[in-house]
Amino acid sequence: MVDMTFTELRNAEKLRQAARLVEDVAYARAGIHSKEKVAHLMLIAASLERVAGITPVMGDTANDC
């Protein structure tokens, strides 16, 4: 497991919060916008969640792997 600093934990949590917000907006707009726009928002939310999951290892060097 990678040790995370407070800043890394906070940044990962902010990314997860952003992902939840985008997902909430997508669901709220489902009846208003086209399926393509809603699907795009869901894809963005999933991408933010994925980035939040890999945030701790982004600072690692190749020698640490």
Enumerate the domain spans of the chain.
6-55
CA distance 48 to 17: 9
Expressed in angstroms, the distance from the first to the final Cα of the chain is: 12
Q: What is the pLDDT of residue 9?
A: 86
- Segment 29-33 mean pLDDT: 89
CA distance 52 to 56: 8
Bigger pLDDT: 17 or 5?
A: 17
pTM: 0.69
CA distance 31 to 38: 9
Q: What's the chain's Rg over C-alpha atoms?
A: 15
